[in-house]
Amino acid sequence: MPIRPRKSGHAFQTLTKHGTIGADIRTMYICDREFVFVQIDLSQAEPRIVSVLSEDWPLLEAFNSGKVDIHNRTAALVLDMTPGLDLNEQFNTIADKIGKDSGERFLGKRSRNGGNYDMGAGELRRNIATDAKRFNIDVQVSEWRAGKMLENFHAASPNIRGVFHRDIQECINNTRTLINPFGRIRQFFERIGKDTYGEGYATIPQATVADKIKSTRISVGYEMKDIGTMLMGEAHDSLLFRFPENEWRDRTRVVKKHLEEPIDFSINCSLRRNVMLTIPADVEVGYENYRDLVKEKI
């Protein structure tokens, strides 16, 4: 961090686009003349990685097809709207009618995240309550309902516990170490128990996303020497730039190319899988300010 005589600014990446306050503050951020904001983020990165680690190939295929809204289908499953997890590319008359910003889809997304990392019913209920307030979504569930949602999720995704969680536990029990595909090492020194395993389940997916973002920043720097003056912020799964408005498409293609380079799970990863995972990158452009971002295809 640079040394300054007084405190100034704030953590730019903490400005949520959801709710009221964060969204309003974002309108105050306007690019210099002849520049635009460009935000590039990895699409559903952690759930894709978990599908690889759990060897759930039908789920990974559904992600890769781009024709299935996994969160909608998960919402229909956990809320007892459909009898199972439908991964068919054909239109589902129940699940696919769920709105993108609806409470139901929000619950589907939170249930998948909770199930992937083995949350209990109480923890999931608290997370839903906290995030719903943060994102200004009018939804709440009881602890019983949260437990039922997790029960439905695991019944439809047995490989989460049967493969992914099992293999993580074996690695921690045998080596007290987990290594992600980029070679990042995490060691567990505390007494091994449920909390240790819980941290272990999240370690490889979260660290892999973070390292992918950081390695992309380094790789892009070799092609664009002035990238240091263009980078505005780094979040967990995204990069924010300010690019000249007459160059943003070409510059974005460079970033997107590196961000979408496959991740090799067959060499360094503790849970080796013979997979080269490509995570697609989505692009949003702020022509007016940092709040009103427009999704663009590159």
The residue length of the chain stands at 298
Q: CA–CA separation, 190 vs 279, rounded Å?
A: 33
The structure's pTM equals 0.92
Q: Is residue 129 assigned to a domain? A: yes
Q: Which residues are 238's β-sheet partners?
A: 41
Q: CA–CA separation, 42 vs 194, rounded Å?
A: 30
Q: Is the pLDDT of residue 65 over 80?
A: yes
- Residue 125 belongs to what domain range? 69-156
Contacts of 94 (CB under 8 A, 6+ apart): 76, 81, 82
Q: Give the closest residue to 153 by CA, choosing from 46, 70, 88, 55.
A: 70
Q: Is residue 117 assigned to a domain? A: yes
Q: Is residue 133 assigned to a domain? A: yes
**Residue 152: alpha-carbon gap to chain centroid:** 22
Q: pLDDT tens digits for 26-45?
A: 888 899 899 999 999 999 99
Q: pLDDT tens digits for 283-296?
A: 999 999 998 999 99
Q: How many domains does the chain have?
A: 1
Mean pLDDT of 197-210: 97
Residue 268 has a CB neighbour count (10 Å cut-off) of: 14
pLDDT computed for residue 125 by the predictor:
97
Mean pLDDT score of the chain = 93
Q: Is residue 172 assigned to a domain? A: no
Q: Is residue 116 assigned to a domain? A: yes
pLDDT computed for residue 9 by the predictor:
64
For the record, the structure tokens of 286 come out as 């702020």
Q: Is residue 122 assigned to a domain? A: yes
Q: Is residue 137 assigned to a domain? A: yes
Q: Is the pLDDT of residue 212 over 60?
A: yes
Residues 285 and 248: beta-carbon distance below 8 Å: yes
pLDDT computed for residue 25 by the predictor:
83
pLDDT computed for residue 14 by the predictor:
67
Residues 208 and 263: beta-carbon distance below 8 Å: yes
Q: Is residue 240 assigned to a domain? A: no
Mean pLDDT of 38-59: 97
- Ramachandran class of 228: left when φ > 0, alpha when ψ lies in -120 to 50, beta otherwise: alpha
